[in-house]
């Protein structure tokens, strides 16, 4: 059995975007619950990204796998903090969300750069979604609209989920354009001689 990675990434990306829209609209009703659901989906997305890194062919894939593996339980901690006592951990939630948003965007940019090179404009997409999510997280416009900071945190998590879904769809649409020779040295096959 073979797995079609492009179709898998496309379908997972579309599901992540739909889940992000549902979680983002659900934060209007129950901000902490739907924000936590988005964070749990981001944890699963980080774990899936770690697994997909193992199929990559560049030399830095191991470091990205370790980083994604560290990011997955961090999103679970974030979701638990958001559900159990969000108002007592408000500043801690904002700081943790900032670190997770920035780390996820950096990892996705690193992966896109390794697969498609620096000249591809898709390398900017993770940074754009992260800046929008950070703007939603730290701007004071939510208070002016009558919403709470917890709503802003939930919307930021939903925007991050939308960003990771968008990246998966783009990775499915644009196959890897970096040649294996440009990735790093490959060992030449040497014949084995028994004495």
Give the mean pLDDT of the chain.
Answer: 80
Residue 183 forms part of a structural domain: no
| Rounded CA separation 6/87 (Å) | 41
| Rounded CA separation 57/131 (Å) | 29
Where is 34: in which H helix or E strand? helix 31-53
What are the pLDDT digits (tens) for 39-76? 899 899 889 888 888 877 777 888 889 999 999 999 99
Q: Burial, 80: exposed, middle or buried (Cβ in 10 Å; 0-12, 13-18, 19+)? A: middle
Here the tokens at position 4 are 């079609």
Structural domain containing residue 111: 5-175
Here the tokens at position 60 are 């830095």
How many domains does the chain divide into? 1
With 90 as the cut, is the pLDDT of residue 149 above it? Answer: no
């Amino acid at each position: 059995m073979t797995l079609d990675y492009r179709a898998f990434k496309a379908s997972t990306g579309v599901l992540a975007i739909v889940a992000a829209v549902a979680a983002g609209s659900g934060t209007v009703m129950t901000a902490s619950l739907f924000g936590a659901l988005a964070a749990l989906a981001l944890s699963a997305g980080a774990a899936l990204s770690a697994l997909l890194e193992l199929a990559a062919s560049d030399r830095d894939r191991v470091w990205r796998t370790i980083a994604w593996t560290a990011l997955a339980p961090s999103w679970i901690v974030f979701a638990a903090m958001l559900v159990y006592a969000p108002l007592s951990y408000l500043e801690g939630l904002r700081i943790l969300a900032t670190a997770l948003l920035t780390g996820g965007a950096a990892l996705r940019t690193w992966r896109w750069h390794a697969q498609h090179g620096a000249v591809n404009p898709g390398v900017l997409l993770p940074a754009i979604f992260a800046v929008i999510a950070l703007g939603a997280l730290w701007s004071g416009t939510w208070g002016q609209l009558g919403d709470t900071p917890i709503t802003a945190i939930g919307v930021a998590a939903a925007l991050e989920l939308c960003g990771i879904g968008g990246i998966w769809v783009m990775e499915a649409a644009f196959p890897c354009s970096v040649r294996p020779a440009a990735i790093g040295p490959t060992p030449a096959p040497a014949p084995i001689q028994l004495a």
